[in-house]
Chain A
Amino acid sequence: MKSERSFRHEKIVYERPSDRYRCGRALLWRKPCWQGPDPAGACQGQSDCAPARIGDRWECRRPKVAGGKCSEGPKPDGRCPHTHPPCVPRPALRRWRGRAASLALLVVVLVFLIGVDPAVPWAVNPAALDAGELASSHAGFTREHGCGTCHASHRAEGLAWVASAFRANDPSGKCVDCHDFAGPPALVHNATFADRADVGTISCVRCHSEHKGAAARLSQVPDHVCGNCHRRSFDNFAAAHPPFDERYPYRRPGRIYFDHVRHAEKHFVDPKVRARSRAVAEFAAEAKAKCTVCHEVQGATREVAPRPYEKICGTCHDRDVVNGELNVLEPGQLTVMASLLLGMEKDGDEEANAKRLAELWQAVARDGGRALAALVAEAAGRKPAAEELFRGLATQLLRDLGSAWGAKRGLQAGAKEGSPGWGVRDNAEGRPALVYVPAAHGDPVLKAWIDFAAAAARGAEDPRRAIAADALEQLLDKDAVGACGKCHGAALRAASPLEFERAWKRPPASAAPHSRFSHAPHLELLDPDAGCGKCHELKADSGYAKYFSAKPGKPQPYQSNFAGIRKEVCVECHQKGRVDSACQVCHAYHLPHRFKLGFRMKGGRS
């Protein structure tokens, strides 16, 4: 062992590591034969040598490594006298290794890749194509047609299946068979952006990875995906999200002039207000303390809508609404309404005005409401408005009035003074005037007169437009009958003719399709009666009233009487280790989504 010589390297046959077989005797820890197995694995050591015939003699051919020529020499028949039982050669290590590799490959090919279904022996085993379990939302409707539901190439067979590897096989094209959005589905954010012309279309699978298990939520993507396009990429809301706009989320005025600051800090604590009645005092005290007295938190999502007028505002303001009467027609005098209907200016030709009025009285005495309807149609260009303007007005009363006005005599008042609806009142000269007393908030006749004036102020030609504008201002005056303008004035003045109907109503929730917020989960955490102020902080010095009390032609910028919500308020909870602060918590990538009809028929049948 101490030197190579001791192992008699020079006397032993060279061992070839690449030989495929080894002598079976060596594996039994005995001396191997010098010949070793042949390449096919057959034993060659059954005799010490293969004698050679030289002339008529046999000569021993045993090599030195096996002891040299034997003393006995070959037998007369040429056989070697030194015979041994044959061994069973065994494969060499390298051959065993090759066999192990081949076996592993074979097992995988047979069991894993090639189908085990005897009916389809050469079909690819589904396990060999299994990229992972589908999300539960997709697993159901793909059950019938399997992979082919989304992967068109799956339906190809044989070589066509292999050849499809050289075609484009993006499965995103199949997504839009079922999913539809309010904008083009392939466009980034389903929209185009003027300042990002470099952003075009994108494949669905770039953000939504399927085959991640039944519990995977495909709609959720990690924050860094958003950072792929957005110039400011971050994954930490608290540290890196830009601060909110100073006016967020109160950038636009509402359609109602309601000064939260004045109500909370002045009206609700004003002893005079509280002295009106017990109900008013109780309401004011509660409303001062709790936002939920006026705002309906049950079912609140993006916005917490106020309760109906009758339940909150009406407590104090009903008496303003039903206070006073609208003087519509009056003999010998051009009322604002008459001026609007006839298109006559108050400071116009008195003689012409008187003649026109006299004609009107005659027409009213003869035709009643039809005479007025004709005037309305002439003024506004639409007949139905007359029905709205004079709803509830009795034809006989009109005729009687027309007759009385024409004959310049009086008329017995038919209704008690101050009672709601149409009525007759004596003017200063003791002559009867047609008046209207609003019945309640949202009175349709009063509303129709305001709409009529507003439409004429926008659409009519001069001088009727100027007359209508003047009439509208008078109707929207805060001290006018119904006091409509006190709250609705700014919205109605700013509205275009097509928007009048909407201008009366509360606007829908803010249309910001790429952002989302729900009050509900926040209200669950905060005290719903007192917790609103945590985010919605009143701002006393905001100049909120200026926008609503601006004179025509002199608009004022809108300032909310709430301070803008600060990011720090959100960060108090939305930070690492507390509440999720991922991009998708507040932002939506897609425009509103809907399923296409018949999506369940996917798979070639639709």
Chain B
Amino acid sequence: MRSKTLIRALLALPAAHLPRPGRESARAGFVAGLYLAGTLALWLPVAAAAWYLERRLGTGELVTGYALLVFTFVLAAFNLRKRLPALPLGSARAWKRAHLAIGAIATALYVQHAGSPYPMGRYEQLLALVFCAVVVSGLLGDFLQRLLPRRLTDVGGEVIFERIPAEIATLREQAEALVLASVREAGSGALSQYYVESLDWYFRRPRFLLSHLTGGNRGGRWIRDQISALRRYLDEREGRALDQIEALALRKNQLDAHYVLQGALKLWLFVHVPAGMLLVALACWHLLVLHIYAL
């Protein structure tokens, strides 16, 4: 079941899972075609010019090199665009599509430019490694951005990532209040003892992170196991309190899933953005050294 979800996510176009009326679907296809045509229109002339020059003992690598530099700056500008949301620079969605298209062109041009997958020079090796890091992290990020929003939709609800700690704290307070009320009303310490021994651990912070990341439901099963094991020792009044605590635990389980999935959507950028900045710096250095020593 999980693999089917994964395959669907890989094959799906952005937001293709959402039901669309026919006209909107046609428009999306037109836009996708437009981007594809734009990608080819950008890539083919550069690649062909470089190929032609190389076949004439010309400096074809200069064409691909300068094109790569320009594309690298355009790709890096996506980060600036996100910092300037107020400026009318086009939608983030359009920028992202352009980012992907130009990234694909840059990768193809890099292969043509470098020739060898592992250059001999040390700074060129670093440049190649950084380029690979940017490409691989970018592909991973795109994959996550196609897969995880669907998973978040499946989990249900919406919550701002930065607000999750506060939400967990609120749920914890509510659960503790229910336990205290139950002790006061029922005069039994079974629920409170159980809460201290087991549920308190669960409400402290997000749990079962790996299970949520891989699409599992260990958290839900754990809650059901704990609740059903305790229920036989409780009277009717404590049982009602336990029902409310179970509902809070299930909400917490959803928050945990949001925390992990939204976190994953942010964490890949910890590789992609720094590596991208490094790539810009090393590309500029490469250009300078090339002009000083070889052109």
Q: B122 an interface residue at 8 Å Cβ cutoff?
A: yes
Q: A224 an interface residue at 8 Å Cβ cutoff?
A: yes
The answer to whether A15 and B160 touch across the interface, beta carbons within 8 angstroms, is yes
Q: A26 an interface residue at 8 Å Cβ cutoff?
A: yes
Q: Given A161-B292, A165-B291, do A130 and B269 touch, yes or no (CB 8 Å)?
A: no
A22 surroundings in chain B (CB, below 8 A): 162
- Smallest CB-CB separation from A14: which chain B residue? B160
- Inter-chain CA distance A108–B204, complex, in Å, is 41
Q: A206 an interface residue at 8 Å Cβ cutoff?
A: yes
Q: Given A26-B165, A108-B126, A132-B120, do A162 and B288 touch, yes or no (CB 8 Å)?
A: yes
Question: 0/1 per residue, B246-285, Cβ < 8 Å to A?
Answer: 0000010011000000000010011001110110011001
Question: 0/1 per residue, B151-179, Cβ < 8 Å to A?
Answer: 00000111110110111111001000000
The answer to whether A211 and B120 touch across the interface, beta carbons within 8 angstroms, is yes
The answer to whether B167 and A131 touch across the interface, beta carbons within 8 angstroms, is no
The answer to whether B274 and A108 touch across the interface, beta carbons within 8 angstroms, is no
Q: B56 an interface residue at 8 Å Cβ cutoff?
A: yes
Q: How far is the CB of A208 from chain B (nearest CB, A)?
A: 12
Residues of A37-68 at the interface with B, using a CB-CB cut-off of 8 Å, are none
Q: A307 an interface residue at 8 Å Cβ cutoff?
A: no
The answer to whether A130 and B281 touch across the interface, beta carbons within 8 angstroms, is no
Given A29, A132, A227, which contacts B165 in the complex, CB threshold below 8 Å? A29
Q: A154 an interface residue at 8 Å Cβ cutoff?
A: yes
The answer to whether B293 and A169 touch across the interface, beta carbons within 8 angstroms, is yes
Number of residues on chain A facing chain B (CB within 8 A) = 62
Q: A1 an interface residue at 8 Å Cβ cutoff?
A: yes
Q: B89 an interface residue at 8 Å Cβ cutoff?
A: no
B289 surroundings in chain A (CB, below 8 A): 128-129, 131
B168 surroundings in chain A (CB, below 8 A): 29
B157 surroundings in chain A (CB, below 8 A): 1-3
The answer to whether A171 and B293 touch across the interface, beta carbons within 8 angstroms, is yes
Q: Given A22-B162, A127-B123, A131-B121, do A228 and B169 touch, yes or no (CB 8 Å)?
A: no
The answer to whether A30 and B169 touch across the interface, beta carbons within 8 angstroms, is yes
Given A29, A108, A165, which contacts B292 in the complex, CB threshold below 8 Å? A165
Q: How far is the CB of B34 from chain A (nearest CB, A)?
A: 31
Residues of A222-238 at the interface with B, using a CB-CB cut-off of 8 Å, are 224-225, 227-229
Given A108, A131, A147, A229, which contacts B282 in the complex, CB threshold below 8 Å? A108
Q: A407 an interface residue at 8 Å Cβ cutoff?
A: no
- Inter-chain CA distance A15–B57, complex, in Å, is 59
B278 surroundings in chain A (CB, below 8 A): 101, 104-105, 108
Q: A32 an interface residue at 8 Å Cβ cutoff?
A: yes
Given B122, B159, B167, which contacts A130 in the complex, CB threshold below 8 Å? B122
The answer to whether A207 and B285 touch across the interface, beta carbons within 8 angstroms, is no
- Inter-chain CA distance A575–B52, complex, in Å, is 28
Given B169, B269, B275, which contacts A29 in the complex, CB threshold below 8 Å? B169
- Inter-chain CA distance A331–B292, complex, in Å, is 89
Q: A205 an interface residue at 8 Å Cβ cutoff?
A: yes
Q: How far is the CB of A366 from chain B (nearest CB, A)?
A: 78
- Inter-chain CA distance A30–B170, complex, in Å, is 8
If A128-B289, A211-B121 are given as contacts, then 18 extra A-B residue pairs at C-beta distance below 8 Å, sorted by A number, are: A2-B156, A7-B167, A12-B163, A30-B165, A32-B165, A101-B278, A104-B277, A105-B274, A112-B123, A130-B122, A130-B123, A131-B120, A131-B289, A132-B120, A151-B292, A153-B293, A165-B291, A224-B55
Shortest 4 CB-CB contacts between residues of A and residues of B? A132-B120, A101-B274, A1-B157, A165-B291
Q: Which A residues fall within an 8 A CB radius of B?
A: 1-4, 7, 12, 15, 17-18, 22, 25-27, 29-32, 92-93, 96-97, 100-101, 103-105, 108-109, 112-113, 127-133, 147, 151, 153-154, 161-162, 164-166, 168-171, 202, 205-207, 211-213, 224-225, 227-229
Q: Could you write out 14 A-B pairs with CB less than 8 Å apart?
A: A1-B159, A1-B251, A3-B157, A7-B163, A17-B162, A103-B274, A104-B278, A130-B124, A131-B121, A131-B289, A151-B294, A161-B292, A169-B291, A224-B55
